[in-house]
């Protein structure tokens, strides 16, 4: 298996090159979780992996609560299928708390979480859905200072403790709701079961990948990852490539057609799983363009919305909304061929259909 084969399989397994699911919660469940602090970008990350999706259909799933947006791993926002949230929190919340402990102490919130959790829970009981600003006012009326990052840490802690979750948006504002009321049928798994389940899902949907990739993505320790692989060995297999061990599903297609990737072009969202979910991303960038891809060369920066051509990252993009259209400004490491330009133009048009506006490609070479 070559680097090209690795990328080809990832495009296939992440449902970028081939879409089979129709519902947002199905693709989120398949991937385990989808990083989502950039909300519009995360909706596109889900939508581009679905059949006939639109921005409105992803928003509707979020409104109905089949997908939730919460702090689950690393710590940052993720989309999670509602029926998975309980066992995922059981697995990942202790690691996020440990990673955040310094900030809890520095901002002197580590001693008030029991009190803030109770206040937040009481404010939302009975199906109420309140914005962060509204909850801040309630906390402060109760004598708890909620300035700056203190409020964010208290809200994140309440999420990780399984008390609150995302509610429907109110206009453009996000709301919070009680998790028990929003996801009453969420599954519970014992920790070992949860480790095995997440391990299986990650390597099935993100493979071929390495142990350190999954440890980075999930926040689990290397020892836990190895235990998860042992428990999931009936579902997974591995191959040594260039001296590195890559894990993937036993059911993985061994011969993905070249047409699934050749001359393909994809607009990847900010923090898209295709890039962010691997600690080692060397396969993604052609060494000839590594200098252009480093953080000093704006507008191409790590984790920005990126352009993938034949599986490789070849630049970045951003959307500029106009009155009745959207301009997709693309920045390439090199000029595209005629075939590549045609493929990217088709992808831009697909993005326009997703957001419900005509989309036009504006090319720039850096």
The larger pLDDT score, comparing residue 251 to residue 207, is at 207
- Contact in structure between 125 and 178 (CB atoms under 8 Å): yes
- For the segment 34-75, what is each residue's pLDDT rounded down to a tens digit? 999 999 999 999 999 999 999 999 999 999 999 999 999 989
How does residue 281 score in pLDDT terms, banded at 50, 70 and 90? confident
DSSP state letter for 337: P
Judge contact between 79 and 46, C-beta under 8 A. yes
Mean pLDDT for the stretch of residues 163-176 = 98
For residue 299, what pLDDT is reported?
45
Band of residue 178 on the pLDDT scale cut at 50, 70, 90: very high
- Whether the predicted pLDDT of 13 surpasses 50: yes
* Weakest-pLDDT range from 70-74, 155-159, 247-251, 293-297: 293-297
Q: What is the pLDDT of residues 104-132, one digit of tens each?
A: 999 999 999 999 999 999 999 999 999 99
Q: Which residues are within 8 A (CB) of 266 and not within 5 positions of it... i.e. 6 or more apart?
A: 11, 16, 48, 274, 307, 308, 347
pLDDT at 302: 45
Q: How many angstroms separate the CA atoms of 268 and 38, rounded?
A: 12
Mean pLDDT value across residues 69-88: 96
Compute the average pLDDT of residues 126-145.
97
Higher pLDDT, 303 or 65: 65
* pLDDT-above-70 percentage for the chain: 94
The pLDDT score that the predictor gives to residue 283 is: 85
Kindly report the pTM of this predicted structure.
Answer: 0.94
**Lowest-confidence region among 75-89, 149-163, 301-315, 327-341:** 301-315
- Helix, strand, or coil (residue 212): helix
Q: What pLDDT, on a 0 to 100 scale, did the predictor assign at position 301?
A: 44
Which pLDDT band holds residue 286 (cuts at 50, 70, 90)? confident
Residue 256 above 90 pLDDT? no
Long-range contacts of 252-256 (CB under 8 A, 24+ apart): 252/9, 252/13, 252/204, 252/207, 253/9, 253/12, 256/8, 256/9, 256/12, 256/17
- Pick the range with the lowest mean pLDDT from 73-77, 206-210, 253-257, 301-305: 253-257
Helices (H), the chain: 3-13, 24-31, 39-47, 55-64, 85-106, 113-124, 132-141, 149-160, 179-182, 191-206, 211-218, 222-231, 273-276, 338-355
How far apart (Å, rounded) are the C-alpha atoms in residues 284 and 282? 5
Note the Cα 81 to chain centre separation in Å. 12
């Amino acid at each position: 298996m070559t680097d090209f084969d690795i990328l080809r399989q990832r495009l296939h397994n992440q449902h970028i090159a081939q879409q089979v699911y129709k519902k947002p919660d199905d693709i989120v469940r398949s991937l385990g979780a989808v990083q989502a602090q950039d909300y519009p970008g995360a909706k596109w990350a889900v939508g581009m992996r679905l059949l006939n999706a639109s921005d409105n259909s992803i928003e509707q799933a979020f409104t109905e609560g089949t997908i939730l947006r919460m702090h689950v791993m690393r710590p940052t926002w993720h989309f999670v299928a509602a029926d998975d949230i309980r066992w995922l929190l059981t697995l990942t919340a202790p690691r996020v708390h440990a990673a955040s402990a310094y900030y809890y102490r520095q901002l002197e919130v580590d001693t008030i979480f029991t009190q803030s959790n109770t206040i937040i829970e009481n404010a939302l009981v009975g199906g109420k859905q309140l914005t962060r600003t509204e909850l801040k006012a309630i906390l402060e009326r109760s004598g708890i200072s909620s300035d700056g990052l203190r409020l964010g840490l208290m809200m994140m802690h309440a999420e990780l403790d399984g008390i609150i979750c995302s509610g429907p948006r109110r206009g453009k504002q996000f709301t919070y709701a009680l998790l028990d009321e929003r996801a009453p049928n969420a599954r519970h798994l014992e920790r070992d079961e949860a480790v095995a389940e997440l391990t299986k899902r990650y390597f099935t949907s993100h493979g071929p990948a390495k142990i350190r990739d999954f440890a980075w993505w999930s926040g689990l320790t290397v020892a836990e990852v190895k235990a998860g692989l042992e428990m999931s060995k009936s579902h997974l297999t591995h191959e040594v490539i260039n001296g590195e061990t890559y894990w993937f599903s036993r059911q993985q297609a061994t011969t993905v057609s070249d047409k699934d990737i050749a001359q393909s072009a994809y607009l990847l969202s900010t923090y898209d799983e295709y890039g962010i979910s691997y600690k080692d991303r060397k396969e993604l960038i052609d060494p000839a363009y590594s200098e252009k891809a480093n953080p000093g060369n704006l507008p191409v920066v790590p984790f920005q919305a990126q352009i993938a051509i034949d599986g490789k990252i070849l630049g970045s993009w951003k959307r500029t909304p106009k009155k009745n259209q959207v301009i997709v400004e693309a920045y390439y490491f090199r000029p595209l061929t005629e075939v590549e330009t045609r493929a990217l133009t088709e992808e831009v048009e697909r993005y326009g259909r997703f957001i419900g506006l005509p989309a036009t490609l504006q090319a720039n070479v850096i």
